[in-house]
Structure 1
Amino acid sequence: MAKPMRRLMNPALFICDLQEKFRPAIYEYPKVIATTQKMLKACKILNIPVFATTQNKSRLGETCEELGLDSPDGISTKVHADKTAFSMWTPEVRKAFADLPPTTPPTAKRECIIVGIESHICVTQTTLDLLREGHKVYVLADGVSSCNREEVPIALARLRAEGAVVTTSESWMYECMGDAGIQEFKEIAKLVKETKDSTQQSLQTLCKI
């Protein structure tokens, strides 16, 4: 019997502008943070590269500390870049992305997962840029938001029409694995169980607007 293989072979997580100063302004910001924390744990288990940005850090501050990006106990990013452009697809991010190991197979494009803010601005423009590069893009509906909650479903509908996959964090993790026989399945199943309550809360708020 052949060894089970993952369904998605070339994923990368993009964390868009989850900064402390946005906390009071963004609709259900704690739920976005909780989903991102879960995805970071999944990335550690599945060895998925992480790319992060801040928007105009000198004015809007650092990435939220509880994400633990590049901290001793957290996950190391491939790049944690500051930007003034709205899209994350800046020269610094593109360079770090190009430095990733070759895809499997070598001609394959990557599966890019996006969480962060704001849905209708930075998340949208990052998604459009990645789609134009030919990558498959997954926007996690339980991991994105905006200052105005009404912007979120409009942005997700547009991105779906542009060719992105709008899905949820749990659905994406199981799609990435594709087979309960892979080595990391038990750890991911444990993570899903541990985050059951926060996942439910995120779905009940962010995915019903």
Structure 2
Amino acid sequence: MALMDAARSFLLIVDVQERLMPAVHGNEQVVANVARLLGVARELGVPVRASEQYPKGLGRLVAPLREHIPNEAISEKVHFSYAEAPACQAVLAQLEQPQVIIVGVEAHVCVLQSAIGLQQGGRDVFVVADAVGSRNPRDAQLALERLRAEGVSVVSLEMVVFEWLQQAGTAEFKRISRQYLR
């Protein structure tokens, strides 16, 4: 599998929702890391898409993320897999980027099923381990193990950022490292 490339990637934020996040183990760190990666994606022009699983019951995307994502980039779904949801399939058809960087919750349900479904659909899939979570940390750990076994790349936030940046010494690198890599 190739390195992550900002020009060939899109960021997918899965179900980081108001009523779900309080139950997620390490929720503050997950939201903070998703927000950091969202900021870097915006700085580098990486397209961002997000999903909301049954928002009537689980609420909307949390405010710190929602305020930086246009409404048209957020899809409602009831399928656990982003790849299976009809509204999301329409979004995917418009995105030419072959690489998808996935963050969100729950790691063992919607993240896992979305990653495997997107991989089966021909995308190169990278799941950001320090930007996903589940209510039970054991479920998140098992999800990451299974994703690796299925051939999905499990990466860290910094791996994504440094691969997207490709080199040090640029104004972009200095700005992003100062603002998002502390």
Give the alignment's TM-score, normalised by structure 1: 0.79
Q: How does 1:25-64 map to 2 (within 5 A)?
A: 25-64=23-62
Report Cα offsets for 1:63-92 as digits up to 9, x if no partner: 11111x2x3xx2436521111110112222
**Aligned-pair CA distance for 1:45:** 0.7
Amino acid in structure 2 at the alignment position of 1:51 = R
Q: How high is the sequence identity, in percent, across the aligned residues?
A: 34
Equivalent in the alignment of 2:10: 12
Q: How does 1:19-168 map to 2 (within 5 A)?
A: 19-67=17-65, 69=66, 71=67, 74-76=68-70, 79-89=73-83, 90-100=85-95, 102=96, 110-168=98-156
SS in 1 for 2:104: strand
**Aligned-pair CA distance for 1:183:** 5.7
SS in 2 for 1:54: strand
Does residue 179 in structure 1 map to residue 174 in structure 2?
A: no
Larger radius of gyration: 1
- Aligned positions, number: 178
RMSD, matched Cα: 1.9
SS in 2 for 1:27: coil
Runs of 4+ residues deviating >6 angstroms: none
Q: Distance in 1 between matches of 2:106 and 2:26?
A: 12
**Aligned-pair CA distance for 1:20:** 0.8
Q: Distance in 2 between matches of 1:78 and 1:164?
A: 28
Equivalent in the alignment of 2:180: 192
Q: Which is helix-richer, 1 or 2? A: 2
Equivalent in the alignment of 1:199: none
Moved more, 77-86 or 162-171: 77-86
